[in-house]
Structure 1
């Protein structure tokens, strides 16, 4: 599949009823960007886009994640990060009774994407520090953690649309965040450290790795879901992965 623009963020859907569904987001150097949800058409093996599942997005999304809901127990959601955390609802009229009332003769469900929430982590301003990344908690899908260039990590309750916790996580910009369980997350930063936080004790964090050379930023973090004793991080402008 070839998108009409350069791609930066992407994510697979994990819902059992929506196999082979991929969200892709543009990297265009201006305010107006796009997110598109594409799907594999089993009948001909082609990846197809649906104009109803393509929508405008302010600034290039730094990350996009579908809700971690394999069993389809929750609404079909997609989250994106850029200037704010946004949660989008993907719906079709067969899920929506109101739509049924308005369009009783629709032969096909009409799919659409609507913004459910716009979440600003700065209570004192309508602007917030740009978000570098986020992670959706698989063990507790109402929680999303974001990382920001303003040195903070913010834990959101997306059901209530409120901040659960916000903490200054590092001395410099935070570049990535990853959950390691219900109440445990880790982050990496321009200060060169990997820190682990436990939401039961918000005053303290554990530094589990620091770059051997000072001021060597760590840009990405992956926590092993099979064995949480392991995580990996990437050093900026380097071929090294540290496990």
Structure 2
């Protein structure tokens, strides 16, 4: 259980402000509300994305896209912006639009200098299809609808997707039809498709330019290489047969490590791709199911998790795990079960959480 990555001393401190040290919380110390901002949506929220590009008018951290979770066809995506100086969240009615079905994921173009950007943000969404939207200063225009269905009547819903940071023309999608599809979004064509899992694929994450991983209801984590389309490598399988794996996060600061969560489990499983099958750590301090995970964007040793216990926990992975497991370094308690979290890449001292009809920004 050794973590060999280096620790950057310039990484923002993760034990101050809203996320108080765990022993302080347990001693009835309440989170300090002056270090957070809350947005109330008219709809329940699930999908969430933070832009990596600053707005042109002021030095706001990022635009934040929020997707509704309404059990009907017509849903909404609202884009807001946040001013860290005044701790205010500004709405933009002209940047709200209808979305078919609840978006399963939202993501802004991770490369602000990409030729796709054209001085605007590009937002991608998944649901029935993969859709691209151009987000300007005062309007949103649909760019493309990418559909790989062989029939016009039916499509297999997309569970998630990930945008390739190294080669931003590529987006990989995961689907309930057991496939992972790699799109060339500049040409709006399928580059390739992989069928390796036995059941629904629930999440996908890029590591390198041509390497991605996926997790499935078949309980496996598989790594794929676009240069070898005939093979995939299983690096982890659920301890219980066919126990689904729901989410996957690749550590972009140290590609040897990734994290995954199991259905109805309080564990976050940390994997080292050099040591298949056996986790290097299991984070087990949540009291009920974990729903979301995110690595710190500028530290290889910090990860945040959130779940049905209404808690968001920040962990610092030790160089060597102790015999009694790992305790989180700080925690935040929300009012409801936390469905989603995002750790801002452009402003890494802010974390966004979605629960019920609220989005809350925490300074860490």
- Count the aligned residue pairs: 225
TM value normalised by structure 2: 0.60
Q: State the partner residue of 1:143.
A: 170
Q: Aligned-pair distance for 1:21?
A: 1.3
Q: Which 5+ residue runs of structure 1 have no aligned equivalent?
A: 93-110
RMSD: 1.5
Q: Aligned-pair distance for 1:48?
A: 1.3
Is the contact made by 1:16 and 1:71 (CA closer than 8 Å) also made in structure 2?
no
Q: State the partner residue of 2:101.
A: 59
The one of the two structures with greater contact order (alpha-carbon pairs below 8 A, sep at least 6) is 2
Are 2:283 and 1:241 aligned?
Answer: no
Is the contact made by 1:15 and 1:72 (CA closer than 8 Å) also made in structure 2?
no
Partners of 1:124 and 1:55 lie apart in 2 by 27
Partners of 1:42 and 1:72 lie apart in 2 by 26
Is the contact made by 1:21 and 1:37 (CA closer than 8 Å) also made in structure 2?
yes
Show CA shifts across 1:182-218 (max 9, x none): 0000000000000000000001000000112111000
Name which of structure 1's ranges 155-164 and 8-17 shifts more when overlaid on structure 2: 8-17
Where do 1:34-53 residues align within 5 Å?
Answer: 34-41=76-83, 44-53=86-95
Name which of structure 1's ranges 155-164 and 19-28 shifts more when overlaid on structure 2: 19-28
Where do 1:1-243 residues align within 5 Å?
Answer: 1-17=39-55, 19-41=61-83, 44-71=86-113, 74-75=116-117, 76-92=121-137, 111-243=138-270
Q: Which 5+ residue runs of structure 2 have no aligned equivalent?
A: 1-38, 271-364
Is the contact made by 1:120 and 1:126 (CA closer than 8 Å) also made in structure 2?
no
TM value normalised by structure 1: 0.89
Is the contact made by 2:102 and 2:127 (CA closer than 8 Å) also made in structure 1?
yes
Partners of 1:143 and 1:126 lie apart in 2 by 26
Partners of 1:45 and 1:239 lie apart in 2 by 32
